[in-house]
Each structure stands twice: as C-alpha cells, then as structure tokens.
Structure 1
Amino acid sequence: MEYLIGIQGPDYVLVAADTVAATSIVQMKHDHDKMFKMSEKILLLCVGEPGDTVQFAEYIQKNVQLYKMRNGYELSPTAAANFTRRNLADYLRSRTPYHVNLLLAGYDDHEGPALYYMDYLAALAKAPFAAHGYGAFLTLSILDRYYKPGITREEAVELLKKCLEELRKRFILNLTSFNARFIDKEGIHEVDNIPLAKVES
C-alpha cells in the first residue's frame, strides 16, 4: 500500500515517499519518514514489512557511516547500492530474510547523480526513474511517457505532481501526504509538501 518514486536528472535526483505507516487496515501514523540518510549525499528509501524496513535500513545506515569513520571518506552511491544489495541477498538466504523494497538515490562528485532500484529478492538495477508499491503500476507509464534525460528540476516536480494526481484519482487508498527531496552536489534538500489539487469527478 506504500509508494516510493525517484526521478534522475542531469545533475540531481528527485525522490518522494508517502508518509503513512499502516498495520493491516489501520493507519498508525501519518507523518512517518521512509527516507534514511546514508551520508551527506545518499538517501535510502525503504518500504515493506514494518519491522523489517527500519531494522534493515538502520543497519545499512550505521555500516555506511562506520565505513566513513574507518576510512575517512564516504561510499559512492554505486558502492552503497552494491553493499546494500549484498546484505539483502545474504539475509535472503538465511532464516531471517528482510522483506523490503528499496530505492537508493545519491550524488557522487565524479560519477554524478545515480538512482538504484532494488526489490526484496535483492535484484539491483540502475534506472533513470523508478517506483515501488501498488502505485508503481499506475505511474510507471506516466514516467515512461514524460521522462527525458535532460529533464529540469521544475519539469521533474511537475512530473512528480502528475504521478501523485494519478494516484489520487485511480488508487483506491488515499495517500494524503508525501515527503519529497532533491539530492545534488550541495547535498540533500527538502521540497515543500507538494499540494494535491482536488480531483474533479
């Protein structure tokens, strides 16, 4: 029932996640942040089983931070994605697998922006845009239609709004609010909560 989305531009990545924490049919929280800061320029977005998401994401987060403390420099987004994938794959083959779906977005001074899609079976793919959750079935076609490699920040925000409006119109559940953030060479920046216009019937 959760939703993650990522859009990569020429010098940034825009990511967004819904803020609902639910158990079965009950909404437990409406301001839950599903983004975990790995480093100054890397974000991990995580959805799945409620306990698994926080435990796995924090485990990866602390290990990435430990790497920086030991070596004096941060992992690149590519290295962080492969480290995350390896851990997820190892746990998948243990008695305690984590049922989590992930997006990893980051910016590297040498390689530029990067967006990685990862599912609970530890399949990893670098993508120009990606989405997780039931909402992905409704919005991947919109991303495919309107995405272009040189997309500007303003166009990316408009594309994100298009996707969220489609969710609001088509998805049976009402995801009321989203966190959105830009990642670029300056670091991680908040995007103001994106207002959703009332859908005409």
Structure 2
Amino acid sequence: MECVFSLVGSDFAVVAANSSAVHSILVHKSNKDKIMILDSHKLITASGEPGDRVQFMEYIQKNMALYQFRNGIPLTTTAAANFTHGELATALRKNPYSVNILPAGYDKETDPSLYCMDYIATLHKVDKGVFGYGSYFSLAMMDRHYHSVMTVEEAIDLVDICIMEIRSRLVVAPPNFVIKIVDKDGAREYVWHESVKDAAINSA
C-alpha cells in the first residue's frame, strides 16, 4: 500500500512518502526512508518494486555525482529529470524498472520544480504529483486545497490532511510517513510522521 506524493509551493518543494517496507502480507520494517537526496538541492522519491526502486534511484544519484565531478557544475532539476527520463526509457527496451518517480529540486534561475514520471517513462512538469494507492484520496485533497503560492506551513498542513485521509480511508494504510523539503537553503528532512502505535512504542 505505497503512497508517495509531492507539491511545489512559492519557493520550495515538499516530498512525502510512506516508510513501510512490505512484501506480500508481511511488513519487514516501518522506518524505511524512500526519499533520496540526489544532491544539495534535489530530491527524488519513487514507488514500485523495492529492488527496482532502490537500484534505479541509486544509479541516478551516482551518475549525477559523476557528472558534477567531471564537469564541475551540478545538473539543474530539469536536466536531472530529463536524464532520469532517458535512462528509464532506455531500460524500458532492455530490462525495465517497475518504478514511478517524482523528482523535485530548487534552482536559483527557475525556482522550485517538480516532475512526474511513470514506469513507461512519460515525463511531465507538474505542480503536484502522487503515486500509489493513496493517490485515490491525496490527489483529491490536493485538488481541493492546493494553490501555487502556498507557504511552507500551508504545504505541510496539506500533507498532513493527505496523510490523515489515507490513514482513515485505506483498508491497510501505511502507518508512518517521512517528509522532506527542498528550497534555497537545500534539501533536508522536515519531519517524520509516526503512527500513534509506533510513537507509543518508541517512547516506552
């Protein structure tokens, strides 16, 4: 029951993802961070097969670092999204990855940006994007409450609304979520949303 979603505000982008690692009917862990920091001002998250997700995101991260090492400048968010799109499209014709991807970042020249890419490598620049079972509910909440000049506080409140809706609507809802933010100050973790059950266990 994966759910990853992201949105762009006035001068930042917020990325959220559930933190459950599951296989079939088993939950292996509930603190898996599915949002990867690509570089100082870029984030990427993905839903899909766990092996494909981890391998592909690490592949993109290392190749972006290699590009910066060779050329002395980092890729812009648009360039990183198009590079990711090209690699996913190439793999689609050889050994496809079953991943849906949301790359987000902040550039001084273009401000924050978010891209939506599904497993067949279609790429779109969007203001908000969602993948997973939670998309049935969180996308509806975003359509209702989202506006393009949101502050960080408003964006986090909207993320909270989406998480609460997912927890109340899905039969098997992910208990924990991690939220990260990227803006002019860089990419960083914002908060870790624990379920009431897990919070009680950790405080004991």
TM-score (structure 1 length as normaliser) = 0.94
Q: Quote the Cα distance in structure 1 between the aligned partners of 2:28 and 2:77.
A: 32
Task: Note the alpha carbon deviations across 1:3-49, whole angstroms, 9 max, x for none.
Answer: 10101001000111010011111111111111111111011102211
User: Alpha-carbon deviation of 1:151?
Assistant: 0.7
In the alignment, residue 187 of structure 1 is paired with which amino acid? G
User: Alpha-carbon deviation of 1:181?
Assistant: 0.9
Could you list the runs of 5+ residues in structure 1 that have no partner in the other structure?
none
Q: Is the Cα–Cα contact under 8 Å of residues 164 and 196 in structure 1 kept in the other structure?
A: no
Alignment of 1:23-38 (within 5 A): 23-38=23-38
Q: Quote the Cα distance in structure 1 between the aligned partners of 2:34 and 2:26.
A: 18
Alignment of 1:136-155 (within 5 A): 136-155=135-154
Q: Is the Cα–Cα contact under 8 Å of residues 139 and 163 in structure 1 kept in the other structure?
A: yes
SS at match of 2:149: coil
* Cα-Cα RMSD: 1.3
SS at match of 1:60: helix
Q: Quote the Cα distance in structure 1 between the aligned partners of 2:123 and 2:167.
A: 29
Q: Quote the Cα distance in structure 2 between the aligned partners of 1:192 and 1:25.
A: 28
Structure 2 residue aligned with 1:81: 81
Alignment of 1:42-191 (within 5 A): 42-94=42-94, 96-191=95-190
Q: Quote the Cα distance in structure 2 between the aligned partners of 1:194 and 1:36.
A: 17
In the alignment, residue 160 of structure 2 is paired with which amino acid? K
SS at match of 2:38: strand
TM superposition outliers: structure 1 runs of 4+ over 6 Å: none
Q: Is the Cα–Cα contact under 8 Å of residues 175 and 194 in structure 2 kept in the other structure?
A: no
